[in-house]
Amino acid sequence: MDATATDFIPAFKVAHGTRRAECVTRGTGADTFLVEARQTGHHLKEAVVTEGDAGGVWRVASDEGTFMKGTDLAPFPLGFFNAGIQSDLAGRIVREAKAAGIALRGLSLRVVTEYSLSGSFAAGTGQGYAEGVSIEADISADASAADCAALLRKAVDASPAVALLRKPLENTFSLHCNGRRRDPSSLPVSPAASPTDPFLKYAKAPSALSGPGIAEGLIVKTADKTVEDPSDPNGGTNAQGRITWKVNGTGHYDFEENLYRCRVALNRPGSTQFTYVSDETEADRAPCGLTLLSAGIAFCYMTQLSRYIENMKLPIHGVRLVQVSPFAAVAGGHGMAEPCDTHLFMQGEADEAMFDRLQLIAANTCYLHRSMAIATPVEVVAKKDGTEVVRF
C-alpha cells in the first residue's frame, strides 16, 4: 500500500459472495464477520472483511489525521464505527417500515459517539471510556407520529449494532509472538484454535474487483474540514476529569438507489470529513454497516498498539490481527452481538512479558473494546418531519 499515491482507494470489493449475511438482509439468522487486518504504515492499516460464511469480501483502509501524524488518506477508526451504527440502523428502519406497510418518503440520521481517556498513555496506565451514543432519526412518512416512533423502537431493538453497545461483552484474545502462540495472562483467553496468520494467508495485497454491481465512491476523503464550534468544544473534560471528544455523523437513506450515504468527522477543528456509502440489501453493492463497524473495532485496537510501540520505542513490528465478530437477528425482532474473538500477531525482539503487557494496554485504551465491555448509554430521539416525537 503506497501511502503517498494520489490514486489511493480507501475501499473496494475483493470478491463476490454467493449469499449475503441474512442477519443483514432478512433481519433473522446468525452470521460471523471475519476481519483480517495488518499495519502497512505509521498509522495506515488495511482490513479484509468477509461478511458471513458465504458473503462478499471488502477491503477497507484506515489512518489517523495529521494531528496524530497520520497520512489522512483514509478515515480514522472511530469514523468507521459511527458510520456502521448509522447504516445498520437505517437498514432496520427501512425493513421494519416495509413490514408495517409504512411508505417512507425520507430518512435521515444523526449519530454522535463520545469517548474519553484517563491516566497516562505513555506510562501504560491509560484507560479508555465510552461516554455514550446519541441517535437522532428523522422519518418522513405517510404515518402518524406514534407509528413513526413505534417503527424506530422496533428498528433499534432489531439492530445488532445497537445491541453491541447495550450489552456488556467479555471479548476474548490470543497472542502470537514471532510465530508462537502465547495466550495473554491478563485478558480472557480465546477458546478457538489459532487462525492462519494474515501474512501467510495473503501472498499479495488484495486487489479490487471491476465490473458492474458495485457502488461508486464507497469511501471518499472530502475537502471539507470540521470548523470550530464554541458550543461543542473538543478537548473538554467531564465530571470525572477525563479528556473527552466526540465523533459526529450524519446521513440519509437514498431510496432511489437503496443505499445509505453518510458523512463522519471528529469534532476537532481541522479534521477531515469522510463520506461512506453502504448497502443493507441483497444487492451487495457496498459494505454493510456491520462490516464498517467490525473494521472500526479492529482498526482502533491496532492504533492503540502502534501508538504505544512508537511512544516506548519498542522493538516490535509486523502488527496484524484476525478478529471474529458474531452478530444475529432473532425471531421477534431482537438484534444480538456476541463477544469479539481477537487473535493478535506480532514480531520483534521484545521479551514475551512486553508482548503480553502491550496487548493488555491496547485493550484498555481501545475505545471500541471499551464500548463493548460496558453497557454504553444510548439515547434515541425520534422525529417526524423535523419535529421531535419521543426520546428514549
| Residue-wise pLDDT tens digits, 338-383 | 999 999 999 999 999 999 999 999 999 999 999 999 999 999 999 9
**Residue pLDDT, tens place only, 27-41:** 889 999 999 999 998
Of the ranges 97-101, 111-115, 239-243, 246-250, which one carries the lowest mean pLDDT score? Answer: 239-243
For residue 328, pLDDT beyond 60:
yes
**Residue 303 — pLDDT band, cuts 50, 70, 90?**
very high
**Residue pLDDT, tens place only, 255-274:** 999 999 999 999 988 999 99
- What does residue 173 show for φ and ψ, rounded to 5 degrees? -145, 155
Percent of the chain with pLDDT strictly greater than 70: 96
Count of helix runs (H) and strand runs (E) in the chain = 8, 18
Query: What's residue 243's pLDDT?
Result: 77
Query: What's residue 3's pLDDT?
Result: 46
Task: State the residue range of the domain holding 275.
Answer: 11-391
Q: Which residue has the cell 412518512?
A: 141
Burial 199-231, CB ≥16 within 10 A → b, else e: eeeeeeebeebeeeebbeebbbbeeeebeeeee
In a domain, 260, yes or no: yes
Whose CA is closest to 165, among 115, 91, 232, 96?
Answer: 115
**DSSP code per residue over 93-129:** HHHHHHHHT--EEEEEEEEEEEEEEES-TTTT--EEE
In a domain, 130, yes or no: yes
In a domain, 3, yes or no: no
In a domain, 164, yes or no: yes
Check which CATH number belongs to the domain holding 92 and give it.
Answer: 3.30.300.20
pLDDT (average), residues 60-77: 93
In a domain, 6, yes or no: no
In a domain, 4, yes or no: no
In a domain, 195, yes or no: yes
For residue 234, pLDDT beyond 60:
no
- Distance separating alpha carbons of residues 372 and 375, to the nearest angstrom: 7
Instruction: Report how many domains make up the chain.
Output: 1
**Residue 1 — pLDDT band, cuts 50, 70, 90?**
very low
Percent of the chain with pLDDT strictly greater than 90: 83
In a domain, 5, yes or no: no
Of the ranges 60-64, 123-127, 132-136, 201-205, which one carries the lowest mean pLDDT score? Answer: 123-127
pLDDT (average), residues 297-326: 94
Please, what is the angle between helix 77-100 and helix 145-158, to 10°? 130
**Residue 151 — pLDDT band, cuts 50, 70, 90?**
very high
pLDDT (average), residues 94-110: 97
- Give the predicted TM-score (pTM) of the model: 0.95
**Residue pLDDT, tens place only, 329-345:** 987 789 999 999 999 99
Query: What's residue 197's pLDDT?
Result: 97
- Distance separating alpha carbons of residues 285 and 368, to the nearest angstrom: 27
**Residue 2 — pLDDT band, cuts 50, 70, 90?**
very low
Partners of residue 109 on adjacent β-strands: 137, 251
Mean pLDDT across the chain, nearest whole number?
93
For residue 244, pLDDT beyond 90:
no
For residue 237, pLDDT beyond 60:
yes
**Residue pLDDT, tens place only, 199-212:** 999 989 899 998 88
